[in-house]
Each structure stands twice: as structure tokens, then as C-alpha cells.
Amino acid sequence: MMSHLILATNDGAAAVLGRSNLANIALSFSLRYVRGPLPSEEELAMGLEPRSAKHSRRGDH
């Protein structure tokens, strides 16, 4: 089974596209430019893993 994903550049667009049934999921992302070293592989993996049961609701963390 294939799932469809839409990447949007802001939360509003992701919400509208998510409700449009054009994809199974719509995610928003934004670029953030920071100075300093790149995050480690562990930090990247932690930032992309699913939310824990403790932080399962939006805004809990």
C-alpha cells in the first residue's frame, strides 16, 4: 500500500492540505539558520523520532 506525503512550508498550508484528502499526511517544516556545529547523528535521530507517550499531545513538550 502506498501512502502520500505532502511537505508544506508553513503550518497553515499543512493544515489545509491535510484536510483536503490529497495525501495521507501533510507536514510543515521551516528552515532555521543557526551558527555553530551541526548536530550529531544522535541529536538528529532524537529530533525525528515519534513522540513519547509522555509527550503525545501537541504542545506537551
Q: Is the pTM of this model over 0.85?
A: no
What is residue 41's predicted lDDT score, i.e. its pLDDT?
Answer: 92
**Cα 58 from Cα 15, distance rounded (Å):** 14
Q: Which residue type occupies 58?
A: R
Which among 12, 55, 9 has a CA at the least distance from the CA of 28? 9
What is residue 58's predicted lDDT score, i.e. its pLDDT?
Answer: 60
Give the pLDDT of the chain (61 residues) as one tens digit per residue. Answer: 777 888 888 888 888 888 888 888 888 887 777 888 988 999 888 877 776 777 666 655 4
Three-state DSSP at 25 gives strand
Residue ranges per structural domain of the chain: 1-31
What is residue 5's predicted lDDT score, i.e. its pLDDT?
Answer: 83
